[in-house]
Amino acid sequence: MEWWYAGPVALMLNSLVALSSYLFGSLGLTIIILTIIIRFAMYPLTVKQLRSTKAMQDLQPKIAELQKKYARDKQRLAEEQMKLYRESGISPAGCGIPMLIQMPIWIALYQSIIRLLAVTPEDLLTLSKSLWSWPVVYTMVPLDNSFLWFSLQNPDTPLAVLVGVTMWLQQKMVTPDTTDPQQRSQSQLMLWMMPLMFGFLAMSFPSGLALYWVASNVITIIMQYFITGGWGGLSRAKDGKTVIKASVGKGSGDLKKRIAQAEQSASITAMEADIVIPASTPEEKTGGESSPDKLRGISYPGGAKTIRHQSKRSKGRRSRGR
Amino acid sequence: MQIKDKVLPGKLLLLLAVILVLGGLLLSGCTVKSKPIGWSGVTVTNDTLFVASLEGELVGLNKSDGNRLWPDCSLETSKGTTAFYGIPAAEGDLVYIGGYDGRVYTVSSTTGYRGWVYPPDENLEPIIGGLLLSEGKVYFGCNDGKVYAINTAELRKEWEFSTGDKIWSIPVISGETIYISSFDKKVYALNAADGTEKWHFEADGAIASTPLVYNNTVYFGSFDRHIYAVDAADGSLRWRSEIEAGKWFWAQPAAYDNVIYAPNLDGKVYVLNAENGYELAAPIELDSPITSSPVVVGDKVIIASQEGRVFSLDTGSNLVPTAIFKVKNDDEGIFAPLVASEGVIYIHAQTPKNDTLYAVDAETGREIWVPVSLS
């Protein structure tokens, strides 16, 4: 692992120190700014990941139907699922791979923060081995560890709570609405487990890490808002409804069309489920109360409109397809 | 199986990602709360040696043969043991040492029994530099950035002085003045009597190195990789070394015959003219970083590297380092300052778990007595 610490971690660490020279030597401010920079540098990957995740969620009802239909034929189920993915233009790995690519960067940032928060003399000696011969680096270290009301070296309870809350908000935004009890319990587990776990970790780790988590969560929330178009599960929770207003929003028009096309080609038996199509235009969004339609057994999580309110363009394309 | 079928591949990957993140966090978490280990130096009195072990015990040894003076003197409290970085200080019947738990402990130098503790009912921030004993007062710097003067007879704080950042160096006294460095990039001169500031000098980097007072000049190395010489009387800059070392200056420099020997974490010793800071010779390269403060024995400067080798520099014509000693256990390193008395160097070497005290002839490197295992 020497190469890891001498390469990526050292690069991140020295960048943090160099950046701090423009930010009054404040480690707290530097953590926030570098987190923002890195998150925006990885923006294309994040977009890909969020859109893929969203698309997977949108296909979930259809997957559930397939699972029911082919419960006893695993091979056929797999084939049908792959067919559905292909026709919808979705890669199942699309949500995981971007995250995996970003992970080394997150870990390097995380570890470099740990190193910079050197508390003991042994820590500081270890840190000295990672510093490069940039003049600014040697004069800046050790950085100012006090930030706002807390010391970045010590755990801070309010900040730990903030970690949990921001992580919950982030998770809640992407939690799919589903009628399937098993999927719902999985979603609920993810929704609560991660915030609690990270909140707990933040209570025992130096606040510098907690600050990084909070900054990262807030950026993710903002990105999710703009990429997936809205507050997702949060607006659902706010309305107290089982569906949200716009599950596939800004920037996901193509995806919606592809899914619509996939609906047609996949020969799925109609189910006793509400058809809820996401609204994409302002008029659709304001176009009357949702009226559960039971035509094709397709439920779009988060869609507040019935098939009747689907955009004309989409309808036209469907008829042309026929 | 049904549950398994319902898990989407994307979710599986997400779950994998979560596991990886948590795994990474946990692995890194091992280093988050690194436990302080400590590297206490040795204090030598007429017949005895005192050193704190890695187990948090103050060990008293017979100087002539290395035999223990008492079986056990653990400084453990209800909160467990603590690490000791400073050098113990001995005066009268008491030995003093400052702990990472923010307390000053005293131990009877004859019986090994524990004496008073300061503060008695609370803890300060970690005390990492050593203590200075002078005229009934114990002075020390603390991680809270303050210098404390404690009256040892009445066990009360006489004064405190605040600097801008933590203090890891040992206070040095010359005449009526205490000199101490801080991570706030400054060296302070304080009145020993009341703690008022006489002057301070600001360098470009943090200072962990204990200042050296020599020929009315205060010498110290900084994290900005330069050595400074400051007038001891008024704090005016005499010179700042033109050379820029590879890494931080951590150890206290040594001086002999108007020459400053400044070890650096880049594994080199910088040899400078004490008058003007000019480099007198090319940096002397040792085998590893130097954390341990060197010591002058006769006309030789003895320096230890982290790798556990002890080198002798002939201050005469030959500045080629001669390795005179190597610790027995290859895993042991030397971080604590060296101490010399009557031609013998006392070396506290350690691994993260074990530590050993060596007594070595400064001239030949021969061991005076069998190394004593302290933990």
ipTM of the complex: 0.89
Task: Name the pLDDT band for A254 (thresholds 50, 70, 90).
Answer: low
Are the Cβ atoms of A121 and B248 closer than 8 angstroms? no
Taking the C-alpha atoms of residue A27 and residue A20, their distance in angstroms, rounded to an integer, is 6
The confidence score (pLDDT) of residue A57 equals: 72
Taking the C-alpha atoms of residue B174 and residue B187, their distance in angstroms, rounded to an integer, is 14
**What residues contact residue B276 under an 8 Å CB cut-off, 6+ apart?**
B239
Mean pLDDT of all residues in A17-26: 89
The confidence score (pLDDT) of residue A224 equals: 81
Are the Cβ atoms of B224 and A138 closer than 8 angstroms? yes
Contact indicator for A215, A35 with CB cutoff of 8 Å = yes
* Cα Rg of chain B (Å, integer): 23
CA distance B298 to chain A (A): 31
The confidence score (pLDDT) of residue A283 equals: 40
The confidence score (pLDDT) of residue A44 equals: 82
Structural domains of chain B ordered from first start: 286-375 (2.40.128.630)
CA distance B171 to chain A (A): 18
Q: Report the predicted TM-score, pTM, of the whole model to 2 decimal places.
A: 0.77
The confidence score (pLDDT) of residue A245 equals: 37
Task: Name the pLDDT band for A143 (thresholds 50, 70, 90).
Answer: confident
Tokens of A60: 């979930």
Taking the C-alpha atoms of residue A183 and residue B367, their distance in angstroms, rounded to an integer, is 72
- Cβ of residue B249 closer than 8 Å to a chain A Cβ: no
If you write DSSP's letter for every residue of B58-69 in order, what string do you get?
EEEEETTT--BS
Task: Name the pLDDT band for A260 (thresholds 50, 70, 90).
Answer: low
CA distance B264 to chain A (A): 11
The confidence score (pLDDT) of residue A308 equals: 38
- Cβ of residue B153 closer than 8 Å to a chain A Cβ: no
Closest partner CB to B10 (pick from A95, A131, A206): A95
Are the Cβ atoms of A180 and B247 closer than 8 angstroms? no
The confidence score (pLDDT) of residue A310 equals: 39
Task: Name the pLDDT band for A38 (thresholds 50, 70, 90).
Answer: confident
Chain A residues whose CB is inside 8 A of the B335 CB are: 125
Chain A residues whose CB is inside 8 A of the B32 CB are: 114, 205-206, 209
Closest partner CB to A121 (pick from B128, B206, B265): B128
State percent of chain A over pLDDT 90.
Answer: 10
**B 323-352 residues inside an 8 A Cβ radius of A:** 335
**Domains of chain A by residue range:** 2-238, 253-315
The confidence score (pLDDT) of residue A293 equals: 35
Task: Name the pLDDT band for A106 (thresholds 50, 70, 90).
Answer: confident
Average pLDDT for runs of 10 along chain B of length 375: 45 60 56 78 94 93 93 78 92 93 93 92 92 95 96 93 96 97 97 97 96 97 96 97 93 96 96 95 93 95 96 85 93 95 96 94 94 91
Closest partner CB to B224 (pick from A139, A182, A183): A139
**B 180-209 residues inside an 8 A Cβ radius of A:** 183, 204-206, 208
Instruction: Quote the mean pLDDT of chain A.
Output: 71
CA distance A202 to chain B (A): 11
B216-250 core/surface letters (b: 16 or more CB in 10 A; e: else): ebbbbbbbbbbbbbbebeebeebbebebebebbbb
Chain B residues whose CB is inside 8 A of the A110 CB are: 24-25, 28
Q: Is the pLDDT of residue A95 over 80?
A: no
